[in-house]
């Protein structure tokens, strides 16, 4: 074998190895982005479920649950009342309308049966609801309080947030962009992923 052939084989092997390293580096980034997207989708689904439970808790108790334990007890044992609203409109002699609204309580249904039934969530596990997906067992942070708004009236607020985001972009500035639902400073029940 002459020197040219040996060098050609060495350079070919080096090119194949460098090509593999380049492919592997790109593939690892793509797979990590897929993993982050899947974990964030699972986190968002849990935050939406917790928001629905908080809204039901607030409708029943007049305030939001401040801890997971109080929300869990409500999910296990709480009731959602079924109320029928009826409006009747009566036309008055001088062209105005009089509207009468009446409410009738039809019964109740359990929170677990209403919000987390098997039809909607076949693999639902209440013990895993407060656990952030992919976090190694960390639970969402719960916050609930009353704040004073302009005009002096008090508003109930809540926030449920991911304490340790998987996505590096969400960890910037002390987890400022961590996935959350609700707000500590505003009467919002929206999530920050929209």
Residue 88 lies inside a defined structural domain of this protein: no
Residue 129 lies inside a defined structural domain of this protein: yes
> pLDDT digit string (tens) for 6-32?
888 888 888 988 988 888 888 888 888
Residue 106 lies inside a defined structural domain of this protein: no
pLDDT on residue 107: 83
Q: Which two tokens stand for residue 133?
A: 């997906």
Residue 33 lies inside a defined structural domain of this protein: yes
> Which structural domain range is residue 61 located in?
3-76+116-182
Give the mean pLDDT of the chain.
Answer: 86
pLDDT at 122 over 80: yes
Rounded distance between C-alpha atoms, residue 42 and residue 39, angstroms? 5
Confidence of residue 170 (pLDDT cuts 50, 70, 90): confident
| Average pLDDT over every residue of 91-106 | 86
pLDDT on residue 21: 87
Confidence of residue 178 (pLDDT cuts 50, 70, 90): confident
Rounded distance between C-alpha atoms, residue 76 and residue 118, angstroms? 14
Cα–Cα distances in angstroms (integers) from residue 163 to residues 19, 145, 170, 179, in the given order: 39, 19, 11, 9
Rounded distance between C-alpha atoms, residue 105 and residue 112, angstroms? 20
Measure the CA angle with vertex 164, ends 181 and 117; round to 5°: 50
Rounded distance between C-alpha atoms, residue 159 and residue 156, angstroms? 11
| Average pLDDT over every residue of 129-145 | 87
Cα–Cα distances in angstroms (integers) from residue 158 to residues 66, 135, 146, 149, in the given order: 8, 22, 9, 15
pLDDT at 128 over 80: yes
Residue 59 lies inside a defined structural domain of this protein: yes
CA neighbor of 78 nearest in space, from 58, 63, 60: 60
Residue 92 lies inside a defined structural domain of this protein: no
| Average pLDDT over every residue of 131-145 | 87
Residue 30 lies inside a defined structural domain of this protein: yes
Q: Give the contacts of 31 (CB within 8 A, at least 6 positions apart).
A: none
Rounded distance between C-alpha atoms, residue 54 and residue 166, angstroms? 25
| Average pLDDT over every residue of 78-102 | 86
Rounded distance between C-alpha atoms, residue 45 and residue 51, angstroms? 10
pLDDT at 130 over 80: yes
Number of separate domains in the chain: 1
Measure the CA angle with vertex 170, ends 129 and 173; round to 5°: 125
Residue 82 lies inside a defined structural domain of this protein: no
What's this model's pTM, rounded to 2 decimal places?
0.77
pLDDT on residue 40: 87
Q: How many CB atoms lie within 10 A of CB 13?
A: 10
Q: Edge-to-edge strands of the sheet including 154-161?
A: 141-148, 154-161, 180-182
| Average pLDDT over every residue of 57-85 | 88
Q: Which two tokens stand for residue 189?
A: 């029940």
């Amino acid at each position: 074998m002459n020197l040219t052939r040996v060098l050609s084989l060495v350079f070919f092997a080096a090119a194949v190895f460098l090509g593999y390293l380049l492919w592997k580096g790109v593939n690892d980034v793509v797979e990590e982005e897929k993993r982050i997207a899947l974990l964030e989708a699972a986190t968002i689904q849990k935050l939406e479920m917790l928001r629905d439970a908080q809204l039901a808790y607030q409708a029943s108790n007049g305030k939001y649950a401040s801890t997971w334990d109080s929300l869990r007890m409500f999910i296990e044992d709480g009731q959602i009342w079924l109320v029928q609203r009826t409006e009747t409109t009566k036309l008055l002699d001088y062209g105005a309308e009089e509207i009468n609204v009446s409410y009738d309580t039809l019964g109740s249904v359990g929170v677990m049966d209403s919000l987390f039934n098997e039809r909607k969530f076949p693999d639902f596990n209440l013990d895993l609801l407060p656990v952030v997906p992919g976090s190694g067992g960390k639970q969402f942070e719960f916050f609930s309080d009353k704040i004073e708004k302009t005009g002096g009236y008090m508003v109930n607020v809540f926030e449920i947030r991911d304490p340790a985001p998987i996505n590096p972009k969400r960890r910037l500035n002390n987890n400022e962009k961590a996935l959350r639902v609700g707000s500590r400073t505003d009467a919002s029940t929206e999530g920050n992923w929209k």
